[in-house]
Amino acid sequence: MNTLNNKDDKRSSDSIDRLIFEQKLCIKTLHIDKDLDLLLLIFNNGNVLKAKLSDYPRLKKANNSQLSDYKLINGGVGIQWEALEEDLSLKGFIKTSALNQMMRN
């Protein structure tokens, strides 16, 4: 089930979708630093998710101007870079972060 298309479905069987829905979790702000290979997603609850820009090939190849031309979509459960034809979801960021953390341990 896709969070972007299923924002109001309380019955999702996906645990990440349920977490996002039940906690009303959304991206409030995004900070990007190409030199540091860094994406910082700041959530509405104050938590921060750190991701590598290089994990996303289109973003890795983009210049600073292209990277700064994004918009939060669907109430902050996604980010869109229209010129780069790149849409990324909060669910995807959470899954990638969890997998990366498990692989490091």
Q: What are the boundaries of each domain within the chain?
A: 3-104
Instruction: Enter the pTM of the model.
Output: 0.82
| Distances from the Cα of 4 to the Cα of 9, 30, 91, angstroms | 11, 18, 9
Taking domain 3-104, whether its CATH number is 3.30.2020.40 is answered by yes
Q: What is the mean pLDDT of the chain?
A: 90
- E-strand ranges in 3-94 read 27-33, 38-43, 48-51, 71-73, 78-81, 86-89
Give residue 98's pLDDT band: very low, low, confident or very high (50, 70, 90).
confident
Residue 4 has a pLDDT of 52
Integer Cα distance of 11 and 29 in angstroms: 28
Contact status, residue 6 vs residue 14, Cβ threshold 8 Å:
no
Integer Cα distance of 25 and 47 in angstroms: 10
